[in-house]
């Protein structure tokens, strides 16, 4: 498979010197969905976090509905037809319905009520395994109770810049009769194209992160967002099909990437595990994970008119540089 890119050149007269200067912009095309992405020269668009997250955690803790003592009182419960217990627990993780639903079945799952402050370097494989396990159980329970709801995803808005409205770290699940735009686009990709893309990345090596067993990890060739990583789990197409071993493998890979993000100075991320209906032939369960701007007063959002309105990302962190940093955690 040929990974397609075009080089653009901008020319301008430099202020002060009056001399002509040129800069390059690389436009890359995602081999799976065709969306394009702009790789800009390094210009410090994603400064490292220098914000005192721990102090902010203390400020936001009083009255937090996900903290001990409040969670049982202030969060909703699942209808009995979905889960008789009202909430789904695994280890320290607890799942309940999202008070502000985005779909027919929307859930929130906290890593632990006690972990109001959870920097990325402290998100362990154990915490992730348990939290993912509640989401897998939720997807299974919803599909059993509502057979028309075949499209499941597990997602994260981690810290305010990513869209999270509550500080307390959590995952979010969606199970519905309708896919999101990206779920539909990915589910429409022919099986051979996933195989050819992964083969190309594995052979090229400059973005490929590793194979953790049944899951392959690579930095995106044409990222939607900074330091974007994608993963593909062969043999299953929905989060509802994740068994315990595969959940643990996914959690282990995610913890590696999040640890690398912390090393790179980032503390906010989005994640999506895009399910297609269970049993979809040739669709490997897809995951995408990327950094967001660091939290601080008057910060710059990494999501601009390009990302929001043109569906075209512009990043100044080359995917190959991100792959080098994140790859250290996979070797
Ligand atoms: Zn809390």
Residue 71 Cα to ligand 1 midpoint, Å, equals 9
Residue 303 token pair: 């999501």
- CA 118 to ligand 1 center in whole angstroms: 10
Residue linked to tokens 């307390």 = 168
Give the Å distance between the CA of 303 and the centre of ligand 1: 27
* Tens-digit pLDDT profile for residues 249-270: 999 999 999 999 999 999 999 9
The pLDDT, as a whole number, for residue 252 is 98
Q: Ligand 1: distance of its center to the CA of 5 in Å?
A: 44
Phi, psi of 28 (to 5 degrees): -120, 150
Q: 320 alpha carbon to ligand 1 midpoint, in Å? A: 36
Between CA 206 and CA 187 the distance in angstroms is 26
DSSP state of 123: -
Task: Give the number of C-alpha atoms closer than 13 A to the C-alpha of residue 25, restricted to the C-beta side.
Answer: 11
Count of C-beta atoms within a 10 Å radius of residue 7: 9
Give burial (CB, 10 Å; 0-12/13-18/19+) of 195.
Answer: middle
The pair of three-digit structure tokens given for residue 91, joined into one six-digit string:
């280890």
Provide the β-strand partners of residue 269. Answer: 158, 291
Instruction: Please answer whether residues 147 and 279 qualify as being in contact, where contact means their C-beta atoms are separated by less than 8 angstroms.
Output: no
User: Cα–chain-centroid distance for residue 248?
Assistant: 17
pLDDT of residue 298: 87
Q: How far is the CA of 48 from the centre of ligand 1 (A)?
A: 24
User: What is the mean pLDDT of each successive set of 10 residues along the chain, which is 331 residues long?
Assistant: 96 96 97 97 92 94 95 97 97 97 95 97 98 98 97 96 94 98 97 98 97 97 97 97 98 98 97 98 97 91 92 94 96 88
Q: How many residues does the chain have?
A: 331
**Predicted model pTM:** 0.96
Q: How far is the CA of 289 from the centre of ligand 1 (A)?
A: 23
CA of 242 relative to ligand 1 center, distance in Å? 28
Residue-level pLDDT at 200: 98
- Hey, what long-range contacts does 257-263 have (CB within 8 A, 24 or more apart)? 257/217, 257/229, 257/289, 257/326, 257/329, 258/120, 258/121, 258/123, 259/120, 259/121, 259/329, 260/325, 260/326, 260/328, 260/329, 261/120, 261/227, 261/291, 261/326, 262/119, 262/120, 262/121, 263/121, 263/325
Query: How far is residue 60's CA from residue 71's CA, in Å, rounded to a whole number?
Result: 15
| Structural tokens at position 85 | 């217990």
Q: Give the H or E element holding residue 128.
A: helix 125-145
DSSP result, 15-60? TTT--EEEEEEEEEE-TTT--EEEEPPP--SSPPP-S-HHHHHHHH
Query: How far, in Å, CA of 140 to CA of 132, rounded?
Result: 12
pLDDT for 296 equals 87
64 CA → ligand 1 middle, Å: 5
CA of 140 to the centre of ligand 1 (A): 27
- In the structure, ligand 1 is a single-atom ion and the residues with CB under 5 Å from it are 64, 66-67, 116, 168
């Amino acid at each position: 498979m040929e990974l397609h890119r075009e080089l653009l050149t901008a020319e301008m007269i430099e202020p002060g010197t009056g001399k002509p200067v040129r800069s390059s912009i690389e436009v890359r095309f995602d081999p799976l969905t065709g969306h394009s992405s702009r790789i800009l020269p390094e210009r410090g668009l994603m400064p490292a976090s220098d914000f005192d997250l721990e102090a902010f955690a203390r400020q936001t803790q009083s009255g937090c509905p996900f903290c001990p003592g409040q969670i049982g009182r202030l969060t909703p419960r699942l209808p009995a037809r979905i889960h008789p217990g009202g909430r789904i627990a695994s280890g320290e993780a607890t799942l309940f319905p999202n008070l502000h639903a985005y779909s027919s079945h929307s859930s929130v799952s906290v890593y632990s009520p006690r972990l109001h402050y959870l920097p990325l370097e402290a998100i362990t494989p154990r915490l992730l395994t348990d939290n993912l396990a509640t989401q897998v159980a939720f997807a299974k329970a919803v599909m059993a109770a509502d057979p028309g709801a075949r499209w499941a995803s597990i997602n994260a808005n981690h810290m305010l810049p990513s869209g999270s409205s509550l500080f307390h770290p959590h995952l979010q699940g969606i199970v519905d009769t309708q896919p999101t735009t990206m779920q539909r686009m990915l589910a429409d990709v022919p099986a051979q194209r996933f195989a050819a893309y992964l083969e190309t990345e594995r052979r090229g090596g400059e973005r490929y992160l590793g194979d953790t067993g049944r899951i392959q990890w690579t930095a995106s060739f044409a990222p939607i967002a900074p330091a974007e990583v994608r993963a593909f789990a062969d043999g299953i197409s929905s989060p509802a099909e994740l068994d315990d071993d595969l959940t643990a493998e996914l959690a282990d890979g995610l913890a590696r990437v999040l640890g690398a993000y912390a090393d790179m100075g980032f503390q906010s991320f989005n994640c999506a595990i895009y399910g297609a209906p269970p049993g979809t032939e040739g669709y490997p369960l897809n995951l995408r994970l990327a950094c967001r701007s660091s939290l601080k007063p008057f910060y710059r959002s990494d999501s601009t008119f390009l990302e929001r309105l043109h569906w075209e990302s512009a990043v100044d962190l080359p995917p190959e540089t991100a792959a080098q940093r994140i790859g250290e955690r996979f070797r």
